[in-house]
Structure formats: structure tokens, C-alpha cells
Structure 1
Amino acid sequence: MANIVPLNSTAHLNSLVKESKDYSRFKNQSLIPVVAQEFATLANEFPIVFVKNSESGQFTPIAMMGIKTDENLYCQTETWTSSVTPLAFSKAPLSLMKTSEESEELMVFVDEDSELLNTTKGNRLFDDAGEQSEYLKQRSNALLDLAGFTQQTSAITKYLAELKLLTPKQLTVKLSKNSEDVNINGIYIVDEKALNELKDEDFIAIKNKGLLPLIYAHLTSLHQIARLITKQRSLELTAS
């Protein structure tokens, strides 16, 4: 549960934000949205695929952190074991949102129910005079950067979709000899055949836009599905 409210220096003058690598709040969320700027880093640990919004048709890249949709294999405990961390994990308890649906103005909001927000331990958001602390300025700038990255990523995925490079892919996983197959549906990947058959001008345009490294990072990351299978088998053996 969350209680998202606008951040202000009166109500949150004495609020502190505790830094933590406990990401167990994501334990039931196996698909984590990512941005293009982190593809190369995350591809060394997680499969990066795309999902499609059924209403808008917009594609979003995500890091797969589980075989089952309601189980994040990396967040079952309070200890984060991976050497890489998605940017989305570092936002809480702060977020950047529009002041209204009609406005393009953004402001910082805070989740008052977050365990990271308290009045005894952590980094102050405001000084005694009610001015933003250096910590809050840094966090606000990071949120702005992430918002910009997200916007750029949306444009990139829209471009890939317009070139008809994103194709649906069903993954069938067998966790053990005696277990039933697990089918993972609703994901999309870049179609290598379609990529290789692009018109020269389209391929050159992708190259000039700097998108080839992103595409190759995505394709390479698909090999990490084997890592997820290993982690799922380990989890089930531990539970049995």
C-alpha cells in the first residue's frame, strides 16, 4: 500500500529518508520497467524484453526477474545479491508526477507509508529553514533524469515498433523432468530476421541513432533466461 502526497517543507520538515538495498517490496512483481540507458548494464544479469499496453499499444522494456509473473526471484529476501540494480528500484519513497492531468509541470511526491520515510534515521529532505537539502536536490535531479530517460525510451520503442521489429514470443520453460512446462506469454523481442532484412536506409538510420548497441544488448540478455531457470529450481528445492 502507498500513501502518495505532494512533498512540502511544512509537513515534511523533519522527515528523513533511509537508504536501503532491501527491495523485498518487489517480491511479487517479476517484470520491472527499465530504460534504454541501462540496457547494457542490466543485460549481464536479467533478460530484457518488451511488453505491450493493450489500451495504448505502447511498448515498454522490462527486466524479467522471475519465471512466474507473481514471483521476483531476486527480491524474496531483504538482501539484494545482484551486482546491478534497476534505476526504478532507487526511486522510493520519492516520485515525480504532474501537478494535474492538464499541466506539464512536475513536482516531487512522497509515499508517507514507506518504511524508508521516518523522523529518526536517514537523510533530511529539508533544513531547519525549510529549504531543500542537498540530498533532496540530488534525489530530485535523479528523478528528473529518469523521467527524461523514460521519455527517450518510449520514443525508441515506438520507433522500433513502427519498423515492425518487435515480435511476440512465447517462452516455454521446463523446470524439471517431472514438472509441467511453464509458458511465459505476452512478451515481445526484436525479430533478428526482420532486423537483417531492413532496407539499407532504415538500418543506417538505426545505426546513426545509436540504437544498434541497445538492440544487441537486448538480444544478448535473452541468454539470462537460463539464469532465471536455475534460480527458480534452486528456490523450489529449498522450499521442498
Structure 2
Amino acid sequence: MSNKTPLHNEAHKALKVTASNDFSRFKAQHLIPVVVQEFAPLAAEFPIVFVKNSDNGQFIPVALMGLKEGENLYCQTNEWHSPVTPLGFRNAPFSLAKASEDSNEATVCIDLDDPQVNSEDGQALFDDKGEQTEFLKNRSNALLELAQFSQQTTAITQYFAQKDLLVSQQLTVKLNEQPLTINGLYLIDEKKLAELATPEFEDIRSKGLLPLIYAHLNSLHQINRLTMKQLQKDK
């Protein structure tokens, strides 16, 4: 549950926010949406795959953090041990909301029920004059930047789909000799990529998308890491 409300320098002048590496709020979310700007660093730890939104048919890149639906192997405790962290994990207790239904402007909201929010310890949000502190400015800018990254990610993923490069792939791993099948995932098809006509391939290269594709493909080796983590958890 959350209690998100638009930030206001009068109503929230006494609020402070503490730092936290507790991401256990994602413990039941084995697929974590990511943006293309973080493909390279995340690929060293997590498999990056694509899933399809059943409501609108659009593809979404995600970091696979668990082999079983509803179980994030990295977020079962309040301690984060991975050397890399998805950008979206750092949002809380802040979020963006549209100022109005027809507006392109966004307002920064805060979750008043988040344990990081209090009136005693942490970084202040407003100074004595009611102006935003540098901390709040930085956090607001990070939210806006991530929103821009998300728009770019949507456009690039749609481009891959238009080129017919995303194919459904069933993944099967062995857990104590028992096969576990993961459905609903999409990968870049290396064969189709190699068979593209030269102008199409050059278009992808000129847009700077090849490093994203290779990061995605290389990240699939991390499925072995997830398998080992699942085996350790099941012991």
C-alpha cells in the first residue's frame, strides 16, 4: 500500500528522506522493467529479455530476476547484494504524476507511508525559505531523466518489433534434474538480424542500436547465475 501525494513546500516542509538499499518491495516481481540506457551495466548480472503487454501489444524490456513467477531472487531480504542496481529501484519514495489528464507537465509526488519518509532523520526536502533543497532537485531531475529514458526505450523497442527482430522464446532450465519452463519471453533473433538487407542493418548501426542488441544477447548467459541462485534458495 502507498499514500502518494503531490509535494508541497508548506504541507511537507518538515519532511526528510533517509537513504535505503532495501528493495524488498520488489520481492514478488520477478520481471523488472528497465531502460535501454542501463542495458550494458545490468547485462553483467541479469538476463535482459522482452515481454509483451497483453493490453496494447507493445514490447517492454525487463531484467529477469527470478525463474519463478512472483519470486524475485534478489529482493527476498532488505539487503541488496548485487553490484548493479536498476535505475527504477532508486525512485522511492518519489514518483511522477501528470499535472492533469490533458497536460504534458508532471508533478513530483511522495509516498508518505514509505519507511524512508520521516521528520527527524535524513535529507531535508525544503529549506527554511520553502525552496527545494539540492537533494530534492537532484531526485526530481533523476525522475524526469528516467521518464525521458523510458520514452526513448519505448521508441527503440517498437523499432525492433517493426523490423520483426523480436521472437518468442521458451526457456528451460534444470533445477535438481527437474525442468522448469519459462514462457512469455521474447529475444532478439540473431538469425534474422544476420539476414537483414545491408541498408536495414546499416540503419540499425547508424542509430547506435547494435551495442544494445549485443548487451541483450550477452546478458542471456546470466540465466546460469539465476539457476544457481534458485538452487541455493531451494536447499
TM-score range, shorter chain: over 0.9
Shift of 1:128: 1.7
Return the match for 1:225 from 215, 223, 226. 223
Tell me the equivalent position of 1:12.
12
Tell me the equivalent position of 1:52.
52
Shift of 1:22: 1.0
Tell me the equivalent position of 2:183.
185
- Deviation sequence 1:125-172 (CA, Å, 0-9, x none): 111221101100011111111011111000000000000000111111
* Residues 1:34 and 2:34 are matched in the alignment: yes
Tell me the equivalent position of 2:2.
2
Q: 1-side partners of 2:105 and 2:144: how far apart? A: 12
Shift of 1:90: 0.3
Return the match for 1:201 from 199, 202, 207. 199
One-letter amino acid of the structure 1 residue matched with residue 12 of structure 2: H
- Deviation sequence 1:40-61 (CA, Å, 0-9, x none): 0000000000111112111110
What's the TM-score once normalised by structure 2's chain length? 0.98
What's the TM-score once normalised by structure 1's chain length? 0.96
Q: 2-side partners of 1:5 and 1:213: how far apart? A: 39
Higher mean Cα deviation, 181-190 or 212-221? 181-190
Q: 2-side partners of 1:143 and 1:216: how far apart? A: 27
Shift of 1:101: 2.1
One-letter amino acid of the structure 2 residue matched with residue 63 of structure 1: A
Tell me the equivalent position of 2:145.
145
Find the residue that maps to 1:114 and give its secondary structure: coil
Return the match for 1:210 from 208, 211, 218. 208
Tell me the equivalent position of 1:99.
99
Q: Map residues 55-74 of structure 1 onto 2, 5 A cutoff.
A: 55-74=55-74
Q: 1-side partners of 2:141 and 2:191: how far apart? A: 40
Q: Tell me the C-alpha RMSD between the 2 structures.
A: 0.8
Find the residue that maps to 1:137 and give its secondary structure: helix
Equivalent pairs: percent with the same residue?
59
Unaligned 5+ residue runs, structure 1? none
Find the residue that maps to 2:79 and give its secondary structure: coil
- Deviation sequence 1:27-47 (CA, Å, 0-9, x none): 111111100000000000000
Structure 1 segments of 4 or more deviating over 6 A? none
Unaligned 5+ residue runs, structure 2? none
Q: 2-side partners of 1:19 and 1:59: how far apart? A: 33
Q: 2-side partners of 1:9 and 1:70: how far apart? A: 38
Q: How many residues align?
A: 235
Q: 2-side partners of 1:199 and 1:97: how far apart? A: 42
Find the residue that maps to 1:174 and give its secondary structure: strand
Tell me the equivalent position of 2:161.
161
Tell me the equivalent position of 1:83.
83
Q: 2-side partners of 1:98 and 1:13: how far apart? A: 22
Q: 1-side partners of 2:31 and 2:121: how far apart? A: 31
One-letter amino acid of the structure 2 residue matched with residue 80 of structure 1: W
